Amino acid sequence: MVRSLQRSASVGLHLQCVRGDDVSAAKGRKAIIVGSTGDQVRANLLRLRTVRRLSTVKLSAKLREAGRPIPPSGITRIEKGERRVDVDDLLALAQTLQVPYAQLIEPPPPCPSCQGAPPIGFSCNECGASA
Contacting residues toward Zn ion, per CB under 5 A: 111, 113-114, 124, 126-127, 129
Q: Closer to Zn ion by CB, 31 or 111: give it.
A: 111
Q: Closer to Zn ion by CB, 74 or 108: give it.
A: 108
Nearest distance from C-beta of residue 107 to Zn ion, angstroms = 14
Q: Closer to Zn ion by CB, 78 or 114: give it.
A: 114
Buried b (16+ CB within 10 A) or exposed e, 37-67: ebebbbebbbbbbebeebebeebbebbeeee
Nearest distance from C-beta of residue 109 to Zn ion, angstroms = 11
Nearest distance from C-beta of residue 108 to Zn ion, angstroms = 9
| Geometric angle at alpha carbon 114, from 113 and 115, rounded to 5° | 105
Instruction: Report the helix count and the strand count for the chain, using DSSP H and E.
Output: 6, 0
Query: Residue 123's beta-bridge partner residues?
Result: 130
